[in-house]
Amino acid sequence: MRRGSLEAVNLRRRSLLRGMLAAGGALAFGGCATGGSTSSARLSGGRISVRWLGGGVVELATPDYKQIAYSDAWIWHNAGWTQFSRQKPPEYATKEGFVQYVAGKKPEAVFVLLTHDHLDHIGDYFEMLKGLADAGLPVMSTGQSDLLRRGLIPEFKKAGLDNTKIVSNGGGGMNFGGVSKHGAMTAHLVPAVHSTFLAYPAAGFMLDIGGMRVYLSGDTDLFGDMKVLGERYQPNLAVVCAGGGPFTMGPEEAARACQWLGVSQAIPVHYAHNAFTHVEAGEEFRRAIAQIAPSIGVTVMKPGDTQVIAA
């Protein structure tokens, strides 16, 4: 082929490639526009009930308790009450009491969100799911996909549970950026910087419930992409680990996380449940917020306390 002809062919090839890339980019952006599950507008007008169950575990519900979510599942074995000199009420003291309590609410959906497999988060998980399912309650769980569809399969079987029926998305759970829905609730999986026993990724959640979006940190350190999570998901409330010590970020880092997330309200958790954290962490978090992001409202709770939060 003559040199001029070769250059002409190469020019046509480059033009064709540029056209294909442009078309691909348009399709990619179009896919993001039509298939995205997040909104740039922050939710408003919502209202939920939040109850701290000790450690990093919280119960969230719509005001009528028709939609109930649990961030992790360490309930009757939860050791986070002792340092506060509080005794567990009957609904959290035993599996039977817990199941009876939830059944009495007559919920339309119960969503159990598992952040990772450390015992202060997963300690009562399988018994909890089994008890609620056996009582005929509409319970579903979700979390990081590989943990739930592979890592914990032996434990599901040992508990007499079929993960394909009790874990969202047909047993697949979700991965980062993914979505799980149950009842009127929607959960998005987001990263956490933490370790796990089985080496599957630790996670946090963005949970839509009661017209609000709640960031549930699980166990994590402060990390820069919290700014991106704030921009992407626009949460109203952060329920954030603040105990510090050997395992998670402390009060000041948790306050910075809330600033980066752009929330208007925050609740510190994951403290005073082991020998390395103390009851003062909640007030230390409040003081840190006052210095770092004074516009954020802080609710410091004790285990068993219930607070109604409005967006």
What is d(CA 147, CA 300) in angstroms, rounded to the nearest whole number?
32
Q: What is the pLDDT of residues 61-103, one digit of tens each?
A: 999 999 999 999 999 999 999 999 999 999 999 999 999 999 9
What is d(CA 72, CA 172) in angstroms, rounded to the nearest whole number?
18
* Predicted confidence (pLDDT) at residue 232 exceeds the cutoff of 60: yes
Share of the chain above pLDDT 90, in %: 87
At 4, is the pLDDT very low, low, confident or very high (cuts 50, 70, 90)?
very low
What is the DSSP secondary-structure string of 146-168?
HIIIIITHHHHHHTT--HHHHBT
Closest CA to 279 of 287, 269, 292: 269
CB 102 within 8 A of CB 132: yes
Q: What is the pTM of this model?
A: 0.88
CB 148 within 8 A of CB 114: yes
Q: What is the pLDDT of residues 155-168, one digit of tens each?
A: 999 999 999 999 99
Q: What is the pLDDT of residues 110-128, one digit of tens each?
A: 999 999 999 999 999 999 9
At 189, is the pLDDT very low, low, confident or very high (cuts 50, 70, 90)?
very high
227 vs 36, higher pLDDT: 227
What is d(CA 184, CA 64) in angstroms, rounded to the nearest whole number?
13
Q: Would you state the pLDDT for residue 38? A: 61
Average pLDDT over residues 27-39: 39
What is d(CA 290, CA 274) in angstroms, rounded to the nearest whole number?
26
Q: Would you state the pLDDT for residue 41? A: 85
Q: How far is CA 279 from CA 256, 271, 284, 304, 306, in A?
A: 20, 7, 9, 14, 18
**Two structure tokens written together for 246:** 């050997």
* Predicted confidence (pLDDT) at residue 259 exceeds the cutoff of 70: yes
Q: What is the pLDDT of residues 38-50, one digit of tens each?
A: 656 899 999 999 9
* Predicted confidence (pLDDT) at residue 25 exceeds the cutoff of 50: no
